[in-house]
Amino acid sequence: MESQVRGGTRWKRFAVVMVPSVAATAAIGVALAQGALAASFSVSGQSFKVTTKQLDGTGFAQYGALDEGYTLSGKKTVHPVAVSAFKSATINSLCQSVVTPDIPILGSVSLILRAGEDPNKPVEAENLYIDVADLEADATFKGIDIGVAAKDATKGPGMKGGKEQSNPFGFAQQADSVVLKDVKQTAWATTAGTFKLSGLKMSLSTGVKECY
């Protein structure tokens, strides 16, 4: 089975990865209201933006979670996220940016990381988890299952270990493979078993400079 999602502007910003994710997001909201999802792990008080020209992933799964976090002043907060998990992925033209505001004298400082710009040397990752708050992309999925329990999403690398406490009986979806093109996303955390950044370039500059 193959499913393709293209175009869309307003509501696609709310869907995390594909059209059925609107239902997933609603299910996450209900679970949060009922206190069914516990925090996965603590994250910093800064989200970051990522763009990629294309991500090719195998063994995909997605489920809801909460990330415990902090504001930049140190107060605790909670971020609802959709965890997108891949057994393996290759990424072309990766850009990642994070802006730290209100630094004395300097003001805002932006960090931008780029890698995989050579089409023959993409970024490579295994057991990749991305805690996504917002995503836009053109997506093609193969072998898709929608509405499985998170614990039964066996096509992906499994739910995160350690402090991961997302509801194992909550809504999830999975696919044999996925291709995401022209990706724009905001995320709170990324973890991977291995993450190979070919052609890595990193720069710091004053002011607000982001991938998009």
pLDDT tens digits along 96-152: 999 999 999 999 999 999 999 999 999 999 999 999 999 999 999 999 999 999 889
* 135 inside domain: yes
* 212 inside domain: no
* 162 inside domain: yes
Domain that residue 139 falls in: 2-206
Q: Quote the pTM value.
A: 0.82
Number of independent structural domains in the chain: 1
* 72 inside domain: yes
* 211 inside domain: no
Quote the pLDDT of residue 39.
60
Tell me the average pLDDT across 81-96: 96
| Cα dihedral 23→145→39→88 (10° resolution) | -130
Q: DSSP label at 150?
A: G
* 107 inside domain: yes
* 139 inside domain: yes
For residues 178 and 139, the answer to whether their CB atoms sit within 8 Å is: yes
Cα separation, 1 vs 144, whole angstroms: 7
